[in-house]
Amino acid sequence: MPDMSVYILTLRCMNRPGIVAAISSTLFGAGCDITEAQQFDAWESRSFFMRVVFRMPVHAAAETTLRDAVATMAREFEMHWTLRARAQPTRTVLMVSRFDHCLVDLLYRWRIGELSIDPVAIIANHPRETYADIDFGDIAFHYLPVTAATRPVQEARIWDIVSGTGAELVVLARYMQVLSDSLVSRLAGRCINIHHSFLPGFKGARPYHQAFARGVKLIGATAHFVTGDLDEGPIIEQDVERISHADSPDDLVRKGRDIERRVLARAVRYFTECRIIPDGRKTIVFSA
């Protein structure tokens, strides 16, 4: 029996009969063995979404041959598609401001092999000593402070790092600076933010203090793709925790840290496992 390598195919197209038959025939014809498949038929937009995990025999031209076959089929159905070897980690830039709980958590999950990222750079708008307790190992650290006046220059540096490292994903791990529309559009579909509230509940600054003032009984966090419309990007994952009148704003911040780090870690994992397919203002997340 030949060695097998695992791939993940995602695709999106207008729905019409025969898509699944075409995909499964194409993969079967290439000697592949499907082990997981998830699909979704969005009746409102008449769109079809699919994620397929399969094993393929390892030989010299295997991936090229497969890509050609998928491309041929994709043309017929006008599909948007991605194909990725599951073993290949996602090249990731991590951005952070003063609070480092999400950063520390992502790095820990990466170190123990839970998260299949390759952290190619850390960008912070605070100096290295802010994170004195964290061992960044070999990961390049960039201190890029920013003011209104220096934003264009700072963002040019960010873009140099992202493009220079070939980053496939940028994670705003409690990076508290607003990105310009121009940078956001260049990072479209590959920049994930963690908003420290349960959107669309409390947009803008200091959401835990807003939640306290309003007297809600649950607080939450939201991981979403970054778009020009702040706090309105497509939502990837959310979670909540129960609070009461007895929780002070500081308690909310403390409980919030736990929610933020687990929501962001899930969103990053979904991204690295090709579980997220954008759908306009929304996302399809094939979460398990």
Positions annotated as catalytic residues are 231
User: Nearest approach, Cβ of 160 to a second copy (angstroms)?
Assistant: 29
Cα–Cα distance measured from residue 83 to residue 265, given in angstroms and rounded to the nearest whole number: 23
Among 13, 34, 62, 139, which residue interacts with a second copy (rule: CB under 8 A)?
34
User: Is 264 exposed, middle or buried (CB count within 10 Å of its CB: 0-12, 13-18, 19+)?
Assistant: buried
Among 33, 68, 78, 160, which residue interacts with a second copy (rule: CB under 8 A)?
33
Which backbone phi and psi does 275 adopt, to 5 degrees?
-95, -10
Candidate segments 68-76, 89-97, 159-167, 256-264, binder of a second copy by CB under 8 A? 256-264
Among 39, 65, 165, 177, which residue interacts with a second copy (rule: CB under 8 A)?
39
Candidate segments 5-13, 32-40, 63-71, 144-152, binder of a second copy by CB under 8 A? 32-40
Among 119, 207, 220, 256, which residue interacts with a second copy (rule: CB under 8 A)?
220
Cα–Cα distance measured from residue 172 to residue 164, given in angstroms and rounded to the nearest whole number: 18
Cα–Cα distance measured from residue 222 to residue 199, given in angstroms and rounded to the nearest whole number: 6
Which backbone phi and psi does 267 adopt, to 5 degrees?
-60, -40
Q: Looking at residues 103 to 122 of the shown chain, list those that interact with a second copy (rule: CB under 8 A).
A: 104, 108, 111-112, 114
Angle at 33 between CA 71 and CA 278, to 5 degrees: 50
Which of 161, 208 has the CB closer to a second copy? Answer: 208
Q: Are 82 and 189 in contact (CB under 8 A)?
A: no
Among 168, 237, 260, 273, which residue interacts with a second copy (rule: CB under 8 A)?
237
User: Is 113 exposed, middle or buried (CB count within 10 Å of its CB: 0-12, 13-18, 19+)?
Assistant: exposed
Q: Looking at residues 161 to 180 of the shown chain, list those that interact with a second copy (rule: CB under 8 A).
A: none
Q: Which positions touch a second copy (CB under 8 A)? A: 17-18, 20-21, 23-25, 27-28, 31-43, 101, 104, 108, 111-112, 114, 133, 135, 137, 198-202, 213-218, 220, 234-240, 244-248, 254, 257-258, 262, 279, 281-285, 287-288
